[in-house]
Amino acid sequence: TKTPSSNFIRNIVSEDLASGKVTEIVTRFPPEPNGYLHIGHAKSICLNFELADEFKGRTNLRFDDTNPVKEDTEYVESIKRDVEWLGFNWDGLFFASDYFGEMYERAVLLIRKGLAYVDDQNAEQIRETRGTLTSPGRESPYRNRSIEENLDLFRRMKEGEFADGQKVLRAKIDMASPNVNLRDPVLYRVLHAHHHNTGDEWCIYPMYAYAHPLEDAIEGVTHSICTLEFEDQRPLYDWVVRECEMPQVPHQYEFARLNLTNTVMSKRKLKLLVDEKKVDGWDDPRMPTIAGLRRKGYTPEAIRAFCREIGVAKSYGIVDERMLEHFIREDLKLKALRTMAVLDPLKVVITNYPEGKTEWLDAENNSENPEMGHRKIPFSREIYIEREDYMDNPPPKYFRLFPGNEVRLKHAYFIKCEEVIHDAEGNAVELRCTYDPETKSGSGFTGRKVKGTLHWVDASHSVPAEFRLYEPLISDESESEEEGQSFLDRLNPNSLQVLKGFVEPGMKEASGGDKFQFFRHGYFNVDPKDSAPELLVFNRIVSLKSSFEV
Ligand code: ATP
Ligand code: MG
Ligand code: MG
């Protein structure tokens, strides 16, 4: 399934190459370094890099760092790491801030052409006079300043003569345009702020709508792919490229951004979760960030396959998060070692098994992939089973353990529950069972059948482990955000559940990023930050079953 999915942008690229409109395709991924990348960004990354790869073009990684206040080098580093981890190599690595000088010169050109002016109105006045969809805007009283005066004022803006918000540079287009974006948009604002890349060199910063088309044009980007919200900005994008007389002409194409069920996907909100310490940083496994997905145990292959499957649409939709889960199951199905872990242990003593004896039983590593071979697991008189696999008074059709019932232990023997020890509150704390040596797994025993198969670990050889199970941070049911209510008030209190139990001894050496399928529990990843030889920590990536079909 490596064939690229057909999509409208791919068709455009292919036609542009065929017609000779372009000789090489150049795309870019342009994140603002104001947070970590999330799964929505992955969609854009895959689209841009895979298009260029397919048509033997180039893709730049460009940091759209024109807003000094929110940007940070920590984010720059995390973005580079995540793009590489996804499996992509950029051709050029650029910072929009490196073009501040050229952007300034192009703004001076606009002023000289009578196409930009310095406005003394404040932000609120500019907003109020912009008009609405149904009514035209009103021209600024400063709109007809002379070119000389504008050149002088813009230079003085740059030199730091004015306070934040005191003056802006606006394009002079059309205050009556049916497209509100063309009603003299702001191109530059005064902002006395330190920039992560340019330091204190600048105190005026270009606005996104002016900067972005220039960035694309300077780099020779041919196909500038962005999300649908920018569709109405396309006429302004083209205006900037044309009037700034950029020698290379990029074109903007829009596609629908990715939305996932039960998933918060706005950097602003994700940052709030981090800042308010509602999660363990940007890479908390509950976060939909690339770093969070990686720590949870997602693979680049699964994320790329997911992005390929959802495709590129021209209209909004919301993708079922179970589809993402489907792809990690698919990726790990034949790769992950299938082992046993007891997440919530209940001790079982096998009374007729000799004391001090240990047997090493044969266990296949992956029942669907024989090439993964076999391992030996210990079995002795004391084992742990899952607490939920025993009941004093079971309902009908309960096939696990209860007094008098017999079950199969995976890879081992049949055991029968003979006696239960309860604590003072009446909870079962230990089962006393017998085993039948005739029923050894692999011996071909057919004497009688049992309906339940339980997983287990040997008590004296097992390795202690912590298991982290996740639920969505916020579920869609509570999506409606009431006035004045923060989404932080709607966090799921059960988004993280921590259990302490045991894994097979062979997993003692497991290290960060190793992935396993635990019998009946699902796929788990060794937590790269918190797992230690004394206490292994496993993050559940996904449970085993899903009703979801692609
Ligand atoms: P957010 O709205 O989540 O804060 P953003 O759009 O502000 O994200 P940028 O850093 O500006 O984040 O985005 C970089 C690129 O990723 C842009 O080209 C943007 O269109 C794309 N992108 C961001 N979010 C999504 C998404 N959910 N689906 C697809 N592409 C996205
Ligand atoms: Mg942005
Ligand atoms: Mg945004």
**Residue pLDDT tens, the chain, 550 long:** 345 556 899 999 999 999 999 999 999 999 999 999 999 999 999 999 999 999 999 999 999 999 998 888 899 999 999 999 999 999 999 999 999 999 999 999 999 999 999 999 999 999 999 999 999 999 999 999 999 999 999 999 999 999 999 999 999 999 999 999 999 999 999 999 999 999 999 999 999 999 999 999 999 999 999 999 999 999 999 999 999 999 999 999 999 999 999 999 999 999 999 999 999 999 999 999 999 999 999 999 999 999 999 888 777 789 999 999 999 999 999 999 999 999 999 999 999 999 999 999 999 999 999 999 999 999 999 999 999 999 999 999 999 999 999 999 999 999 999 999 999 999 999 999 999 999 999 999 999 999 999 999 999 999 999 999 999 998 765 455 555 567 888 899 999 999 999 999 999 999 999 999 999 999 999 999 999 999 999 999 999 986 555 5
List helix spans (H) across 181-249. Answer: 208-219, 234-243
* Residue 2 pLDDT: 46
* Ligand 1 pocket mutation, candidates 34, 46, 227, 306, criterion most atoms within 8 A of CB: 227
Q: Which of 289, 369, 343, 297 minimizes the C-alpha distance to 514?
A: 297
Ligand 1 surroundings by CB, under 6 angstroms: 30-32, 40-41, 43-44, 226-227, 257-258, 265-267
Both tokens of 451, joined, read 């309906």
* Ligand 1 pocket mutation, candidates 27, 38, 41, 306, criterion most atoms within 8 A of CB: 41
pTM value surpassing 0.80: yes
Atom of ligand 1 nearest to the CA of 45: 16
What gap in Å lies between CA 328 and CA 548, rounded to an integer? 13
CB burial readout 230-247, b (16+ within 10 A) else e: beebbebbebbbebbebe
User: What angle is formed at CA 220 by the lines to CA 215 and CA 222, rounded to 5 degrees?
Assistant: 100
- Domains of the chain (ranges; CATH) run 1-91+256-332 (3.40.50.620), 337-542 (2.40.240.10)
Each residue of 273-287: pLDDT tens digit?
999 999 999 999 999
| Ramachandran category for residue 484: left, alpha or beta (phi over 0 → left; psi -120 to 50 → alpha) | left
* Ligand 1 pocket mutation, candidates 7, 49, 257, criterion most atoms within 8 A of CB: 257
DSSP 440: -
* Residue 547 pLDDT: 57
- State the chain's maximal CA–CA distance in angstroms: 101
Q: Looking at 389-521, which runs of residues are DSSP E strands?
A: 406-409, 414-422, 428-436, 453-454, 456-458, 463-470, 496-503, 515-518
Both tokens of 525, joined, read 């990843």
Q: For residue 307, how far is its CA from the centre of ligand 1 (angstroms)? A: 14
* Residue 439 pLDDT: 98
**414-422, strands of its sheet edge to edge:** 453-454, 406-409, 414-422, 428-436, 345-350, 382-386, 456-458
List helix spans (H) across 24-118. Answer: 39-54, 73-85, 100-112
Is 267 designated active site? yes
* Residue 252 pLDDT: 98
What gap in Å lies between CA 456 and CA 411, rounded to an integer? 10
Is 167 designated active site? no
Q: Which of 223, 219, 249, 252 minimizes the C-alpha distance to 54?
A: 223
Atom of ligand 1 nearest to the CA of 230: 20
ipTM for the assembly: 0.95
Is 32 designated active site? yes
Q: Residue 521, annotated ligand binder?
A: no
Each residue of 458-494: pLDDT tens digit?
999 999 999 999 999 987 654 555 555 678 888 999 9
Each residue of 148-190: pLDDT tens digit?
999 999 999 999 999 999 999 999 999 999 999 999 999 999 9
Q: Which of 10, 106, 189, 267 is catalytic?
A: 267
**Which residue puts its alpha carbon closest to atom 3 of ligand 1?**
266
Q: Residue 99, annotated ligand binder?
A: no
What gap in Å lies between CA 519 and CA 506, rounded to an integer? 15
State the ligand closest to the CA atom of 226: 1
State the ligand closest to the CA atom of 270: 1
